[in-house]
A and B are shown apart, each in its own frame.
Chain A
């Protein structure tokens, strides 16, 4: 009743994006375009693609983009964050450490910034 993409097509899409992030001649615009495509899919990006994207950020010297990308990955987990995100961290954590980038949690970006207590409730 509901249409399910064939596994072959899914594999091809994953390979396409992994190869795209591996390209040496893409600039910041292209990488962001590919990341935006990943956001549009109804899926959490595969760890292999996340790793490739982080390497692309490293090549472009774009630290902020890597953190933002990881924040996007967490957001894509939706309601199942507690099940999926630890798995992602486990798969991708070594690459994150190796490339010298950070997860948003390490930087405190998963909490609201500049949370000031209201003067009326001090």
Chain B
């Protein structure tokens, strides 16, 4: 190095691991929160919506008669 290198000032010598752990916890907690919110919005709520949409206009009586008339039930006869 050319020229006079100035004397370095005293850096922080104590508590390095402690601050590293604090930083790690904060980062991990925030990443976990983001992932949890994403999971809720994009997966859990989406699935609930799909189920709700299916059952909104679902007529179970009509479905029952459809299956019955195909002859798939053992305990009910078809209509014909």
- Using Cβ atoms and an 8 Å threshold, which residues of chain B touch A86? 8
- A86-B8, A90-B7 given as contacts; is B15 within 8 A of A42 (CB)? yes
Q: Is the CB of A43 within 8 A of B14?
A: yes
**Dominant secondary structure of chain B at its interface with chain A:** loop
**A111 an interface residue at 8 Å Cβ cutoff?**
no
**B70 an interface residue at 8 Å Cβ cutoff?**
no
Q: How distant is B18 from chain A, measured CB to nearest CB, in Å?
A: 6
**B20 an interface residue at 8 Å Cβ cutoff?**
yes
A78 partner, pick from B8, B9, B20, B22, beta carbons under 8 A: B20
Q: Is the CB of A2 within 8 A of B18?
A: yes
**Dominant secondary structure of chain A at its interface with chain B:** helix
Q: How distant is A53 from chain B, measured CB to nearest CB, in Å?
A: 15
A10 to B14, CA, bound (A): 10
Q: Is the CB of A43 within 8 A of B11?
A: no
A84 to B50, CA, bound (A): 57
Q: Is the CB of A87 within 8 A of B10?
A: yes
**A83 an interface residue at 8 Å Cβ cutoff?**
yes
Q: Is the CB of B20 within 8 A of A79?
A: yes
Instruction: Give me 11 other A-B pairs in contact (C-beta within 8 A), A42-B15, A43-B14 excluded.
Output: A42-B17, A43-B15, A44-B16, A77-B16, A79-B20, A80-B12, A80-B16, A87-B8, A87-B10, A87-B11, A90-B7
